[in-house]
């Protein structure tokens, strides 16, 4: 396993594999089996002759001033052990100063998709995400990048950025990995008490319930949304949004919900925010 802490170190490594197909999985670390499913997919796509590149970087510019940047878990040794187990080849894990040296001033505006849903609650979040991912793509130069559907809006916005900025990379969206009760795996799940952890499963139950309603012919957005809100609220979570949206525009359906459709939920348990979604195509 190669561990590169600086951009120069990574570029030197990259030079030694310039002829090989590089598949990239960016992360913020605190890795779980959801990340593992992405890295293992990268391994399959790269084959034994290709390179699986990962990054571990808790990106300060995508956290708001009152968010969990400082308390975000950073179990680096454990992450390395997991990445060895999942057969990654290289880890790029720069410091914030390496990525944002004094004087760095350029950022990427994600456009209107960055202002809705997560972007409405976390102003500036997607500007930080786009900027860091553009920088990482410029450093890693992968043929393909794998992102999780778990962060639906993120993969939608980054797909738009790659198109709009003519970036020579294929974007692959991988399915959401879940715990046995359906809770989407997340680094933030470790913040939950055991009582909160049990309640958190209501998010996926609410998504599945609305998906079943949709498949049984219920297409009224108000009915689907009210059903999700009721289920989550009953479990003691605070709903931030529970919407049926167009997966391309991320605009919530009003009236009749069309196809395709993505059901998106954000909810809080104490101070922990959880998001999840189900795509109906």
Q: Which residues bind ligand AMP (CB under 6 A)?
A: 27-28, 34-35, 37-38, 147-148, 150-151, 174, 176-177, 184-187
To 10 degrees, what angle do helices 125-140 and 7-16 make? 40
- Looking at the Cβ atoms of 129 and 224, the one nearer to ligand AMP is 129
- Looking at the Cβ atoms of 221 and 277, the one nearer to ligand AMP is 277
* Cβ pair 99, 57 in contact under 8 A: yes
Q: What gap in Å lies between CA 192 and CA 272, rounded to an integer?
A: 7
Taking the alpha carbons at both ends of the chain, their separation in whole angstroms is: 39
Q: Residue 256: what are its φ and ψ, rounded to 5°? A: -80, 130
Q: What is the nearest approach in angstroms of ligand AMP to the Cβ of residue 37?
A: 6
Q: What is the nearest approach in angstroms of ligand AMP to the Cβ of residue 14?
A: 21
Q: What is the nearest approach in angstroms of ligand AMP to the Cβ of residue 254?
A: 28
Q: Which residue(s) pair with 276 in the sheet?
A: 265
DSSP letters, 188-215, are GGGGS-HHHHHHHTHHHHHHHHHHHHHH
* Cβ pair 237, 210 in contact under 8 A: no
Q: What is the nearest approach in angstroms of ligand AMP to the Cβ of residue 187?
A: 5
Catalytic-role residue among 35, 70, 125, 215: 35
Look-up: residue for tokens 């959401």?
176
Q: Which residue is nearest to ligand AMP (CB)?
A: 148
Classify 118 as helix, strand or coil.
Answer: helix
Largest CA distance in the chain: 56
- Looking at the Cβ atoms of 174 and 224, the one nearer to ligand AMP is 174
Residue 35 annotated among the catalytic residues of the structure: yes
Q: What is the nearest approach in angstroms of ligand AMP to the Cβ of residue 218?
A: 27
Q: Tell me the torsion sign for CA atoms 210, 214, 218, 224.
A: positive
Here the tokens at position 202 are 């209501």
- Looking at the Cβ atoms of 58 and 224, the one nearer to ligand AMP is 58
8 contact partners, CB below 8 Å, separation of at least 6: none
- Looking at the Cβ atoms of 235 and 274, the one nearer to ligand AMP is 274
Q: Which residues are catalytically annotated? A: 35
């Amino acid at each position: 396993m190669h561990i590169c802490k600086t951009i120069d170190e990574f570029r030197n490594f990259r030079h030694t594999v310039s002829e090989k197909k590089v598949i990239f999985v960016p992360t913020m670390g605190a890795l779980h089996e959801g990340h593992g499913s992405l890295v293992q997919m990268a391994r399959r796509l790269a084959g034994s002759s290709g390179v699986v590149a990962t990054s571990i970087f808790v990106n300060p510019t995508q956290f708001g001033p009152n968010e969990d940047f400082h308390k975000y878990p950073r179990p680096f040794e454990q992450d390395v052990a997991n990445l060895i187990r999942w057969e990654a080849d290289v880890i790029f894990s720069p410091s914030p100063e390496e990525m944002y040296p004094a004087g760095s001033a350029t950022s990427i505006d994600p456009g209107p998709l960055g202002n809705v849903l997560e972007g409405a609650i976390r102003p500036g979040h997607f500007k930080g995400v786009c900027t860091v991912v553009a920088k990482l793509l410029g450093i890693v130069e992968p043929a393909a990048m794998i992102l999780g559907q778990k962060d639906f809006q993120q993969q939608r916005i980054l797909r738009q950025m790659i198109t709009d900025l003519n970036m020579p990379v294929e974007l692959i969206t991988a399915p959401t990995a879940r715990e046995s009760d359906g809770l989407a795996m997340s680094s933030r799940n470790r913040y939950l008490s055991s009582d909160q952890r049990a309640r958190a499963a209501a998010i996926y139950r609410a998504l599945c319930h609305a998906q079943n309603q949709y498949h049984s012919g219920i297409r009224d957005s108000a009915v689907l949304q009210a059903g999700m809100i009721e289920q989550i609220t009953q479990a003691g979570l605070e709903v931030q949004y529970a919407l049926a949206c167009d997966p391309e525009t991320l605009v919530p359906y009003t009236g009749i919900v069309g196809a395709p459709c993505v059901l998106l939920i954000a909810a809080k348990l104490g101070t922990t925010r959880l998001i999840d979604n189900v795509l109906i195509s």
